[in-house]
Structure 1
Amino acid sequence: MPQSTPFRQFVLKVHSRCDLACDHCYMYEHADQSWRGQPTVMSTGVMRRTAERIADHVRTHGVREVSLVLHGGEPLLAGPDRLAGLIGALRAPLAGACDIDLRMHTNGVLLDRRFCELFREHGVKIGISLDGDRAANDRHRRYRNGQSSYGKVVRAIDLLRGDYPDLYAGLLCTIDVANDPIAVYSALRAHEPPAIDLLWPHRTWDDPPPGASSGATPHADWLGAIADRWLADGRPMPVRVFDSILSTLRGGPGLTEALGLEDTDLLVVETGGGYEQADSLKTAFDGAPETGMDVFRHAIDEVAAHPGIRARRGGLAALCTTCRACPVVASCGGGLYAHRYRADGSGFANPSVYCADLSALIEHVEGRTSRRSHVLPSEVVRSLATGHGDPAAIARLGTAQASGRRALLAVVGKATAPTPAWDLLKHALSVDPVAFDWALSHPYVRAWADERFHALKFGPGPVEDDGLLATVACTAAARAWLDVALTVPVRDGAIYFPGIGRYDVPGRPTATVRVSAGELTVEGADAFQAVRHLQAGTLTVALDDLDPHRDCHDHPAAGRLPELRFQEWQVSFQEAWTLLEKDYAEYAPAVAEALTTIVPLEPPDSGASVSSAARDAYGSVGIALPESPALLCLLIMHEFQHVKLGALLDFVDLYDPGDDRLYHAPWRADPRPLEGLLQGTYAHVAVVDFWFRRMRADAPGVAREAGRQFREWYPKTVEATRTLEECGSLTGLGEQFVATMRRTLAAMVTGG
């Protein structure tokens, strides 16, 4: 994250004291005791100046919305009159500058109707701290005389739920593994919170939690029990730690500072106007959160340059070596910054003291949710990031694609008129789901469905079947051994069955297709041309020069190939596959698993090699037959990289889609959007690898040419990975993905 990246969350300490004496409080019970020197209550002058600084900051950076949290200590100790003045002083300078999400975190014991009316007037949402049932809550949240706070807190929650539901933001619960997790979850859920925040107890390596040194995972076990119940209950409310894990596993943002690789955008302003870092740092050492800056002398952009702030802004590169190599780092993000501290000179350059717990919890939640066919486990992403993709990863990617095709076709099928074809498809699905998925698996069925989906999305209404939906229904019926007859539209004088072949039906708008005993019969057909297949060992790939939807590549698709040209393809393909299996064995299983179709392209007049992968045609590549089997091997490897990455991007986010900048790609003259650069770089990892291994060829001429190619493409590909790493728009998962690509490249020259 660049230094100028704006802050979007501000914690404003309106009162520095508290009416409870919670023994797990980071504010008063941990290493930092700076609260003792703070003014008891924030003045309206401090608040006004703070708001002016925020207004300047958001205008400079074009920020549309900020989150402002009134905090403490206990903010309600300021009283309703003082709070009214502070909120007014806060809102006035920000009027028109940006939208405000204004909240308060409170222990709730003082919350009454006077406060609620004030907060309703000013749109302040309320989050209340509650650690579970009475037994769990009273373990820590008591008054100084030992009396329970539970009754007053519950009354405050009931007040919000009953009369002020518009103000009720949720519950904050600090984890204690001594409490029964299901009892805590059940107690919290009974209060019908809009959201739950389960907070890790603040510990460091100098004051570790139970299990930190032994590798035990009591906190993961505790949270895992709640996650299981929450998932079984159908996720009845957001639980930030679990939602954050699920988000980061898909490449989305961490929804809490404690998870994910996103750089911090949070800044604290103390009652006296001093800028501070996150409160959690109070657990590290006395003075840890201080910046030495304040709202009267310093603009917010100046705080961004503070070493402590910058240390928490660097994504994957800012973590210690152990964390950078961790398979769950894109979700964990190294854990909360404060929890990494060790007073042995290493400071924060350590894994979290909850490292084992975080890893176990992430794997637990992922294991419970990735059973769904369309959810990709993180090991699939990691495997693909190497550039190869093991067979299990590619199989899971294919399963996810099948699930996506089902969902897409359901939308298109329901909206296509007339409906007999869709009815037949649904019947085939009910009888034989495998046959249904097989019929949908032809790559250009997905390309057609995407095109229809966009037509439906932006068009006036239902669209007529142009023939493909009906032919897919017939192939599914044949595969399921159904006996049916269906009227099928004729397109350009023919009916094409995906992956099977084309029947010529001249001069007719429709034809009846009969399906019986697994066979298709087209009434009135003059001739039939079958889709031919290339064979290499046990691998069979369709060479499809018939599909009317195949012409979606960057180069024109060839027409029906003469038999002699097909035989040239067969010879070259067999030799290319032999080379790929022999010298590029890591790539072969993935190609064998997922490559189903090659579309022959028209060779350009220049004689150059051309190839393409269509983003919405998983399992297919387009290639103009090159001059040698070795080049065909290279083109298959290159384009199949695009196939894999395109399929992955259907289900995970590796970058911010809002980044509309164009980037230099070293292999092209025209600048590329971010996805284009990512796609090109990933494909060139395989190109570089191809030439690197080719340098070891026995033939001197081959090795010499390979060395020249490697010296050209290797530095360009490394440069492109550096551009990606520095773009500031990769998600945490994207950072990890690109870092793995870079390690693959580095291993070529270091032998690692």
Structure 2
Amino acid sequence: MHTNGVLLDDRYLDVFAEYDVKVGVSLDGDRVANDRHRRYADGRSSYDRVIRAVELLSRRREVYAGLLCTIDVANDPLAVYRALSDLNPPRIDFLLPHATWDTPPPRPSETAYADWLIRIFDAWLDEGARVPVRMFESILRTSRGESSLTESLGLEPADLVVIETDGAYEQADSLKVAFDGAPSTGLNVVSDDLDTVAAHTGILARQQGLGGLCDTCRACPVVDSCGGGLYAHRYRTGSAFANPSVYSADLLKLITHVRHRTAMPAHALPYETIEALACGYGDDHDMEHLLAGQRTLRRGLLAGVHAQRSAADGWDLLTRLDAEHRPAVDAVLDHPYVREWAARCLTGGGSPGYLANIAAAAAVRAGVDAEITLQDVDGVFHLPTLGAFEATSGADGRLLVKDERFTLARTPDAVWLPVRKIETGGFTVILEDTDPHRHCHGHLAAGRLPEEEAGAWQRMFTEAWSLIESHYPRYAPGLRAALSTVVPLAPPEGGDVSSAARHAFGSVAIALPKDPATLALLLMHEFQHVKLGAVLDMVDLYDQGHSGLYYAPWRPDLRPLEGLLQGTYAHLAVSDFWRVRRDSVPGDTEVQFALWRKHTADAIDSLNGSQALTPLGMRFVAGMRRSVEPWLAEPVADEAIALAAELARRHRAASGAR
């Protein structure tokens, strides 16, 4: 039962204990907060009598259910929380005031209720969550796929029916806030059984889970925790309950904050980051979320490799360094091809002994003395992020790290090939031509570059980056923050070649093109794949079991849904490149823009029509659509539109013939 507590005494508690009735008490915080609304009719404070009831319950913990606090944002949230938690209740339950779109709650700011609760959550978390708080626990539980502890959150079916004192069955009494008679079912204990009540349309409406929510809620990234909020809070005249909660902005902000602070499930992507990435961009802060997820993933993969028990020395050194020199370990684990190697090991295609090379590279970076045997891979003893020793005949892989210097202990004259870097304007990337695990891009990687060719890369990269910063500034922060490596590919016989590998976040592979503008385009294009791959490591954008194949305007073959999603996302940048390029370079640039904006928009339509996107996937693709729609409205010469349409028709026809 629930009570304001003013009449509670030991006689009642004896009865409750006999019949195993749990008792909760309404208390809105300290004296100031509680007396704002909970006074006697003559104006006297009820606070002292409520505190007396709480003290009685504290001595009878077997019947004590906890405290319920109705939120009033006019009260100091920390004062409220301290007053409640100092009473050491079994649980605190914060209740959003009952309101609807017709009668909205008092709201001094757009997310006043979220801001109020966030201050309490941060204090609660910092203090070790010493008192259970139902709302916060429910967000944490639903974020990791478990059930909610309250009807106001989560997607579980409502399982509550009320029996009024006259025997009438009613729905939850919170529905009274919507309109007169809203909870009524027309059923009664005298004439109807509970199976009949369960079949009532009002009860069924609150048991539909995701399917019972409006489109806005279904597309929300936190719908698995929010669940649309309390059913009563969705009401609006004209559309009934087919709306988001009147507290939807608060719930989105609160849940996103909770997930961000607790990194739930593994690393949550904040709402703002998802929105920025969906539109095709993302800045350095957005990249930090992707980088953090990748670091955790790589550590897990390395632990899996260690479980094969083939690299004990490397694991022991690496874990010791991780405890004392984590930045050095992170710098090595951030190298894109560490994950590629680990993934290959776990599928039976790599050498677990290379873990020693990873540990040795971290020791060198940390300046820690060590001695360890390196793994020879494809003729080199490679140290990720540093370079490689050529494994000449008779070379011994015993590496000695001493006084920040390192050498092959028994082959001191081994040829060292230091990692190459290209740099411009404070932006530096590795030009990776020694890592034996870079051969994963579907194209032939170049060997060790001659100095002249490395110089050509430097000159062209400088010009390409200048073009990106000046003409495509929305792509520059993400590239600068997360592009760490470029792998030179062997020159193709004709055309340009580039690639991104699914397990190599932070790297793209490119054959040196004919001009800086093409290099800029290829960097932008492939980095889109890099970003989306990292997003897909953290969240589900589509049904993994979906087996449909789809036409992709840039491929001769039909593509699975992930392939179409990847290609469409990459071609956001391609379309944008030609959109800007046509203003400064005459020729076929206008045709290219007309062609690729159409292809990209058509592919977005295919994604939306797949029926296989998750709610978050729908939101992500909607962000892609928001970027493309203004481009479709930009004026383009009729001749360019006609030629682009003809090229598109020919491609589709050729694809269909195949």
Q: TM-score, normalised by structure 1?
A: 0.64
Would you say the 8 A contact 2:217–2:228 is kept in 1? no
Q: Does 1:553 align with 2:441?
A: yes
Return the offset for 1:390.
1.4
Partner secondary structure for residue 633 of structure 1 = helix
Q: Which residue of 1 aligns with 2:477?
A: 589
CA deviations on 1:634-687 (whole Å, 9 max, x unpaired) are: 22212211212222344x424366644435353457665554444333223222
- Pairing partner for 2:575 from 680, 685, 688: 688
Return the offset for 1:389.
0.6
Would you say the 8 A contact 1:267–1:278 is kept in 2? no
- Pairing partner for 1:313 from 186, 204, 212: 212
Would you say the 8 A contact 1:544–1:599 is kept in 2? yes
Q: Which residue of 2 aligns with 1:491?
A: 377
Would you say the 8 A contact 2:142–2:225 is kept in 1? yes
- Pairing partner for 1:180 from 80, 98, 104: 80
Q: Which residue of 2 aligns with 1:228?
A: 122
Partner AA of 1:506 in structure 2? T
- Pairing partner for 2:136 from 225, 233, 242: 242
Would you say the 8 A contact 1:495–1:505 is kept in 2? yes
- Pairing partner for 1:447 from 334, 340, 344: 340
Return the offset for 1:382.
2.8
Q: Which residue of 2 aligns with 1:479?
A: 365
Would you say the 8 A contact 1:431–1:480 is kept in 2? no
Matches within 5 A, 1:18-167: 129-131=24-26, 158-159=61-62
Return the offset for 1:497.
1.5
Partner AA of 1:516 in structure 2? K
Aligned Cα root-mean-square deviation (Å) = 5.2
Change (3 A) 1:451 1:224: same
Return the offset for 1:202.
1.9
Would you say the 8 A contact 1:268–1:275 is kept in 2? no
Partner secondary structure for residue 680 of structure 1 = helix
Would you say the 8 A contact 2:101–2:235 is kept in 1? yes
Return the offset for 1:279.
5.6
Q: Which residue of 1 aligns with 2:529?
A: 642
Return the offset for 1:736.
3.5
Separation (CA, whole Å) in 2 of partners of 1:744 and 1:224: 32
Would you say the 8 A contact 1:394–1:593 is kept in 2? yes
Separation (CA, whole Å) in 1 of partners of 2:262 and 2:562: 27
Partner secondary structure for residue 388 of structure 1 = coil
Return the offset for 1:745.
1.8
Partner secondary structure for residue 700 of structure 1 = coil
Aligned length: 603
Q: Does 1:727 align with 2:594?
A: no
Q: Which has the higher contact order (CA 8 A, sep 6+)?
A: 1
Q: Which residue of 1 aligns with 2:108?
A: 214
Return the offset for 1:244.
5.0
Partner AA of 1:727 in structure 2? A
Change (3 A) 1:746 1:505: same
Q: Which residue of 2 aligns with 1:528?
A: 416
Separation (CA, whole Å) in 1 of partners of 2:15 and 2:550: 58
Return the offset for 1:198.
4.0
Separation (CA, whole Å) in 2 of partners of 1:392 and 1:588: 13
Q: Which residue of 1 aligns with 2:328?
A: 435
CA deviations on 1:328-387 (whole Å, 9 max, x unpaired) are: 8997676434324455x6766877544675466457646754699956544333322221
Moved more, 502-511 or 350-359: 350-359
- Pairing partner for 2:279 from 339, 362, 386: 386
Return the offset for 1:496.
1.1
CA deviations on 1:92-143 (whole Å, 9 max, x unpaired) are: xxxxxxxxxxxxxxx9997667x77xxxxxxxxx987554699999998x9x
Q: Which residue of 1 aligns with 2:625?
A: 742
Change (3 A) 1:674 1:131: farther
Return the offset for 1:690.
2.2
Partner secondary structure for residue 328 of structure 2 = helix
Q: Does 1:204 align with 2:100?
A: yes
Partner secondary structure for residue 317 of structure 1 = helix
Change (3 A) 1:662 1:372: closer
Separation (CA, whole Å) in 2 of partners of 1:243 and 1:290: 31
Return the offset for 1:283.
1.6
Separation (CA, whole Å) in 1 of partners of 2:173 and 2:613: 26
Separation (CA, whole Å) in 2 of partners of 1:510 and 1:426: 25
Separation (CA, whole Å) in 2 of partners of 1:497 and 1:491: 11
CA deviations on 1:125-178 (whole Å, 9 max, x unpaired) are: x987554699999998x9xxx9999689959984489xxxxxxxx868453547
Separation (CA, whole Å) in 1 of partners of 2:317 and 2:208: 61
Mark the runs of 5 or more structure 2 residues left unpaired by the alignment: 6-11, 41-45, 636-658
Q: Which residue of 1 aligns with 2:644?
A: none
Change (3 A) 1:395 1:180: closer
Return the offset for 1:317.
3.2
Return the offset for 1:312.
7.6
Matches within 5 A, 1:615-626: 615-626=502-513
Change (3 A) 1:275 1:573: farther
Change (3 A) 1:592 1:289: same
Separation (CA, whole Å) in 2 of partners of 1:451 and 1:275: 61
Would you say the 8 A contact 2:101–2:233 is kept in 1? yes
Percent of aligned pairs sharing the same letter: 40
Return the offset for 1:721.
4.5
Separation (CA, whole Å) in 2 of partners of 1:379 and 1:134: 33
Q: TM-score, normalised by structure 2?
A: 0.72
Q: Which residue of 1 aligns with 2:647?
A: none
Partner secondary structure for residue 387 of structure 1 = coil
Partner secondary structure for residue 621 of structure 1 = strand
CA deviations on 1:580-613 (whole Å, 9 max, x unpaired) are: 22322211221122211122345666x4544332
Q: Which residue of 1 aligns with 2:642?
A: none
Partner secondary structure for residue 212 of structure 2 = coil
Would you say the 8 A contact 2:550–2:561 is kept in 1? no
Moved more, 553-562 or 499-508: 553-562
